[in-house]
Chains A and B, each alone.
Chain A
Amino acid sequence: MKKPLTYITILLIIQAIIFLTIQAIAFKLAAETTIIQNRTMDQAIKAVIIMIMGVIWLLTWKKLGEKIYQKYQAKYP
């Protein structure tokens, strides 16, 4: 069985890629789209979109980390 360090490294690389991808998509969409004319509201809506992306990112992170830990827990009850 591989060391936890290997799995954590893979996890962090995956998270970095997801973060950069989500961010690029979110920012690109937000930068090129005006959702509504009111500037403040427009920015607030964009912030909500970014936050949703962030939540997805964090949920993925949580699930993957727990999976790694459970792998070792099963081996060492």
Chain B
Amino acid sequence: MINIDIAIKIISISILTIIISIVLTKYMIKIFRKYNVYGEDIFKLNRPKIPKNIGLSFIISIIIATTLLSASNILSWNITTAITTAMIITAIIGLIDEHLDPPGYFKPLAMLAAGIPIIILKCYTPYIRIILFGGFNIPILYPIFILIAMSVTSNMVNMLDVINGSAVWGAMISTIAGLIAGIIINSESAVVIAITILASIIGPALYNTYPAKGFLGNAGSLALGTSIGILAIIGRIEVPMVIATLPFIHNSFYFLTYAKSFIEHKKLNVQITRLNQRGEIEDAKNRNAPITLLRLLVAQKPLTEKEALKQIVTLFIITGILSIITAILIKVRI
């Protein structure tokens, strides 16, 4: 288990990472504003132009943090290399998707590649821990599971990046749940990776939360999902992380069952939710639109963006608690 010396090193690196994350995010907002890299905030009456791609600060911060942890002999070189490579792959895919506008299947297909470093560097244990009964060894299927998991986690976070702060808060609360699950299950790697993710996420969280001063961009939101996948696989907390991320899964599932193919929100040509004259988000009442999480939340009455964010956060807190209960049940054997 983690001793005091290692704990001090982890805390020091985390504090440094938080500072790097905040400074980098602030700097990126300035840079992207200067070079007109904007996105339109559609859920504001005046539709302000907000600098996008600030999620890149998360990617850089997590790479710096894992490198420092590796240099301090806290994370092994292969885990560090796997995380770094997966993050770089995600950043490239996110930026391609953002600027070259590839077809809808590009992201889910390309994001499979983020799992390859984990498989090649053997940063996994092909044993899924389940509640009450122990677990199940699946050496042949597990690598396939890794590829799918990385694509699913990254894309599901990306798909819930619909209002200010929804993706970043969802990822943050899921990671906190993962951290506690890691402590319960005695997974040292889960604890270290979760702390690293949380420290790196602070900057984007500060500036992307309502009212957003910067958008994550596809690279940022995909990277948040990649980090959740990494935490689940390397941290060996797959089942608790599925439970923690249920609101993400819910949203993507309803979107995909409607679209019946991998397609971007903007290319769907169907309005799901809209802004009313009072500046509230309301259901577009379109029969052909998918019942996304946000649409379901505003089904009864229109909500302000802040209220909608609060409700999404509430859902993540509830599933986070369920995830912790799951981790406790994993410890129990019958």
Which residues from chain A sit less than 8 Å from chain B, CB to CB? Answer: 1, 3-5, 8-9, 11-13, 15-16, 19-20, 23-24, 27-28, 30-31, 39-40, 43, 47, 58, 61-62, 65-66, 68-69, 72-73, 75-76
Dominant secondary structure of chain B at its interface with chain A: helix
Partner of A12, one of B130, B247, B254, B295: B247
B113 within 8 A of A: no
> With a CB–CB cut-off of 8 A, which chain B residues contact A28?
133
A-B contact pairs, 25 of them (CB 8 A): A4-B297, A9-B314, A9-B315, A12-B247, A12-B319, A13-B322, A15-B246, A16-B326, A19-B243, A20-B131, A20-B326, A23-B130, A24-B133, A30-B136, A31-B133, A31-B134, A31-B136, A40-B140, A43-B141, A58-B253, A62-B253, A65-B296, A68-B296, A68-B299, A76-B299
Dominant secondary structure of chain A at its interface with chain B: helix
B157 within 8 A of A: no
Contact status A27-B300, CB under 8 Å: no
B 240-255 binary contact with A (CB < 8 Å = 1; else 0): 0011001100100110
Contact status A69-B133, CB under 8 Å: no
A76 to B298, CA, bound (A): 12
Interface size on B, residues (CB 8 A): 37
- Contact residues of B between 289 and 334, Cβ < 8 Å to A: 291, 293, 295-300, 311, 314-315, 318-319, 322, 326, 329
Known: A4-B299, A62-B257. 12 other contacts (CB 8 A): A5-B315, A16-B319, A16-B322, A16-B326, A20-B131, A20-B239, A23-B130, A39-B140, A62-B253, A69-B295, A72-B300, A76-B300
